[in-house]
Structure 1
Amino acid sequence: MTCSSPRTIIALGLEGSANKLGVGIVKHIYPGGIPADAELVPEVVELANVRDTYNPPAGEGFLPRDVAAHHRSVIVPLLHQAFAEAKITHEDLDCICYTKGPGMGAPLQSVALVARTISQLWDIPLVGVNHCVGHIEMGRAITGAQNPVVLYVSGGNTQVIAYSQQTYRIFGETLDIAIGNCLDRFARVLKLPNDPSPGYNIEQYAKRGSKFIELPYTVKGMDVSFSGILSFIEKLAKTEPEKYAPEDLCYSLQENMFAMLVEITERAMAHIGSNEVLVVGGVGCNVRLQEMMGQMAEERGGKVFATDMRYCIDNGIMIAQAGALAFARGFTTSIDDSWITQRFRTDQVHVEWRT
């Protein structure tokens, strides 16, 4: 089955799974029409990609209800801004895509409600999108990576992924908290600002660190664990602040956890025979992580692919990108099924647009 529009698809994407609300508009062009059986490789034109972030005070995390209130307050202005940047109106849209999960319940629900409402108001099909798959498809489109092992690292997720038989298979993942959550929570201990993000500020501290402090290194097969590392380094920071400089703690935390990720990613590359690594998710912006992953890939005769802050941090255009691909294969979400789920796994998605 193919979309009724044989050459172009314009998709609106709404992302609000955590503290960032993103609205994006993408245009897919198929010069020869949408192929029925081949892999979909459209020309991708970015029309708009706007975002607004909820930042609590330094040393504090964010509550789901506060994030949801933020999203509700800014989503209409962001929609207007996105349409103005794209120089289109809602009448030009083929589908409205929203993040179905995973993520924080209240923010997800707020954005899904808006998507559901404008879908009915404008009589435009709705497409529910897996947040993780959105990151992967945007990363593939921007970098040109063909068949990479994907390292997905963010505030809520840590997974090593590879594509096989129309599914993104999870080779390894965190057994407890995500790496981004670990970084965020340690930033609170150090009272680092949340603007632009706790992880970014830890990265800047780490650049000034020079003394490596031994921390637990927890790799279990293809999986990793970060909760014990966090407890250990929190104790050092709180009980012996005069002995351990914040810069050295941040440096050691990064080096330790990134080495764990490099290990399991390299093992996945060896298993599937790939020489490409695609790093996606908010933590994927970290330059040191990209360097370490790049060194490993180079030693294997491979290459690492990564995006900048426009695309690695949660954004609306990644949801539009994945949604447009699904829509081209005839997938839509009925209003009755337009619910959200906080636990929507990457390997639950039928990736029908790839062969």
Structure 2
Amino acid sequence: MASSSRPHCLLNEPDRPYLALGLEGSANKLGAGVIRHELDGSSTVLSNFRHTYITPPGEGFQPKDTALHHREWALKVIPDCMQKAGISMHDLDCICYTKGPGMGAPLQSVALVARTLSLLYGKPLVGVNHCVGHIEMGREITGAKNPIVLYVSGGNTQVIAYSRQCYRIFGETLDIAVGNCLDRFARVINLSNDPSPGYNIEQEAKKGQRLVGLPYATKGMDVSLSGILTSIEALTYDKRYRADGLARGPDDTDIITPADLCFSLQETVFSMLVEITERAMAHVGSKEVLIVGGVGCNERLQEMMGIMAEERGGRVFATDERFCIDNGIMIAQAGLLAFRCGLTTPLAKSTCTQRFRTDQVPVLWRH
């Protein structure tokens, strides 16, 4: 988010309702949403539309093809979003778009749409950090006051806490994100990408009965996930596979099923995430955990985090797939908060960046 000045913040004394359109397209989901900030300080979601680019089993999504998907579906998703909200572009106070982080080509496609709408209707732009969008939507929906945030998605894994108008990163992945880890393993065992590989791994894991030993790599407040992925891929590709596709155990008698591997991967990775989150809670004395990002929809992760939080006398906050998975309304929420604090993005600087850290954003709307 960028601004040439910092006018008086209107958050605590709104003189009228404020409206924002949010556009999200950092990965394979194109989202558009309209939010209204009411006079009493509450927020109302007027519409929240999303369309996902889904590839065949065993394949990931390429930047070029994903960008083409976003350009094509923007012509349907945005009008549907505005119609559902019952407003026109002229009613908006600002147009918000994902500045980063994310995949370059899809980000650029959505930024181009946002710039075009800004020029056509004379509305200010607000470039939004994708990670901050997740956090602010999570806080708004759940009512969490000052939680430790576990942000887990396809491209990001971070443990975050707010301090002095900035979201501070306490710990993060040292290599690949947890969502990337799950998605890549789903491709290895040829799970469907519909509705998402992570969701299908979660369903498969519910059938698992054996916990296979995998590397457990927490390093202080950080985690490393590339080793566990390499290890479980080696089990999958083991030459001792039988004709029916099941791998034999170490003694060549026990059978390890794909469901066992999904179960083991989830249990190990989620245990690592719970550990570093608990360490952050202890450090700042927090009793709240907010899970955001696409992987935050996983019920097993929520359950494991809930057990830990309950033991500490705390609680877990999480949302369902409408707000956990990438969506336009989270960009609208974070963007409108910034806009009401005087933060806008000049047209000449309405670019995108694949690297945009959570702690680079001035969080002027929190005190």
> Please, what TM-score do these two structures have when normalized by structure 2?
0.93
1:320 equivalent in alignment to 2:315: no
1:307 equivalent in alignment to 2:316: no
Identity of aligned residues (%): 68
Partner of residue 98, structure 1: 97
Partner of residue 233, structure 1: 232
Amino acid at match of 2:194: D
SS at structure 1 position matched to 2:363: coil
* Residue of structure 1 aligned with 2:30, choices 21, 31, 35: 21
Deviation readout 1:197-236 (Å, 9 max, x if unpaired): 0000000010000100000000000000000000000010
SS at structure 2 position matched to 1:201: helix
1:6 equivalent in alignment to 2:24: no
Partner of residue 242, structure 1: 247
Partner of residue 139, structure 1: 138
CA distance in 1, matches of 2:344, 2:141: 25
* Structure 1 ranges of 4+ moved more than 6 A: none
Partner of residue 273, structure 1: 285
Partner of residue 130, structure 1: 129
1:29 is displaced (CA, Å) by 1.2
Partner of residue 252, structure 1: 264
Unaligned runs of 5+ in 1: 32-41
CA distance in 1, matches of 2:234, 2:282: 37
Which stretch of the first structure deviates more once superposed, 137-146 or 234-243? 234-243
Partner of residue 66, structure 1: 65
SS at structure 1 position matched to 2:352: coil
CA distance in 1, matches of 2:358, 2:212: 35
Which stretch of the first structure deviates more once superposed, 22-31 or 254-263? 22-31
CA distance in 1, matches of 2:87, 2:111: 22
CA distance in 2, matches of 1:224, 1:159: 9
The answer to whether the Cα contact below 8 Å between 2:21 and 2:92 also exists between their aligned partners in 1 is yes
Which protein has the larger Cα radius of gyration, Structure 1 or Structure 2? 2
Q: What is the correspondence of 1:80-229 to structure 2 with a 5 Å cutoff?
A: 80-229=79-228
Amino acid at match of 1:11: A
Amino acid at match of 1:22: G
SS at structure 1 position matched to 2:57: coil
CA distance in 1, matches of 2:128, 2:23: 10
The answer to whether the Cα contact below 8 Å between 2:235 and 2:247 also exists between their aligned partners in 1 is no
CA distance in 2, matches of 1:99, 1:336: 16
1:5 is displaced (CA, Å) by 6.7
* Residue of structure 2 aligned with 1:337, choices 341, 349, 359: 349
Structural RMSD (CA): 1.0
CA distance in 2, matches of 1:185, 1:2: 44
SS at structure 2 position matched to 1:176: coil
CA distance in 2, matches of 1:242, 1:350: 51
SS at structure 2 position matched to 1:24: strand
1:7 is displaced (CA, Å) by 2.2
* Residue of structure 2 aligned with 1:284, choices 292, 296, 315: 296
Deviation readout 1:93-123 (Å, 9 max, x if unpaired): 0000000000000000000000011101100
CA distance in 1, matches of 2:18, 2:355: 29
Equivalenced residue count is 345
SS at structure 2 position matched to 1:12: strand
> Please, what TM-score do these two structures have when normalized by structure 1?
0.96
Deviation readout 1:26-80 (Å, 9 max, x if unpaired): 000133xxxxxxxxxx210000000000000000001000000000000021111
CA distance in 2, matches of 1:91, 1:123: 8
Partner of residue 36, structure 1: none
